[in-house]
């Protein structure tokens, strides 16, 4: 069973780059081949931003990118903009055949 840990908050100034980490508790790297990232603005439904660790759905800005090293996945937002202020959640398949979400990271644009 994987638990996904994210920082509670990350902040940055407009134009800067920020990175949100998502660390899993499972030691099996194969558990993290399908990490996805979701953006959720206040009062709105989540929106898929990244899937399969690094892939961007059509229509998502190329300022958003994903990566992974071992059991830690990361979402990087480049050229931070005011509209990027939102909560971000990582998600992954678990070894018990369920899905898990990280606790969420609130991104603040200073």
Partner 1 sequence: EVQLVESGGDLVQPGRSLRLSCVASGFAFDECAMHWVRQAPGRGLEWVSGIGWSSASINYADSVRGRFTISRDNAKNSLYLEMNSLRPDDTALYYCARAPRGFYTHMDVWGKGTTVTVSS
Residues that bind partner 1 (CB under 8 A): 34, 36, 38, 40, 45-48, 51-52, 57, 87, 89, 91, 93, 97-104
**Minimum distance, C-beta of residue 15 to partner 1, in the bound complex (Å):** 28
- Could you give the CA distance from residue 14 to residue 80 in angstroms, rounded to a whole number? 5
The b-or-e profile of 2-17 (16+ CB within 10 A means b, else e) is bebebeeebebeeeee
**Minimum distance, C-beta of residue 72 to partner 1, in the bound complex (Å):** 18
Count, residues in the chain? 110
**Minimum distance, C-beta of residue 10 to partner 1, in the bound complex (Å):** 15
Nearer to partner 1, 71 or 91 (CB): 91
């Amino acid at each position: 069973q994987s638990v996904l840990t994210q920082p509670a908050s990350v902040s940055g100034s407009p134009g800067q780059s920020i990175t949100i980490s998502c660390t899993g508790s499972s030691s099996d790297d194969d558990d993290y081949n399908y990490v996805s990232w979701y953006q959720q603005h206040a009062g709105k439904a989540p929106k898929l931003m990244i899937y399969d660790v690094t892939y961007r759905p059509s229509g998502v800005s190329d300022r958003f990118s994903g990566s992974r090293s071992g059991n830690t996945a990361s979402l990087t937002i480049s050229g931070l903009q005011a509209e990027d202020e939102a909560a971000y959640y990582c998600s992954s398949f678990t070894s018990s055949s369920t899905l898990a979400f990280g606790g969420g990271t609130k991104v603040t644009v200073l």
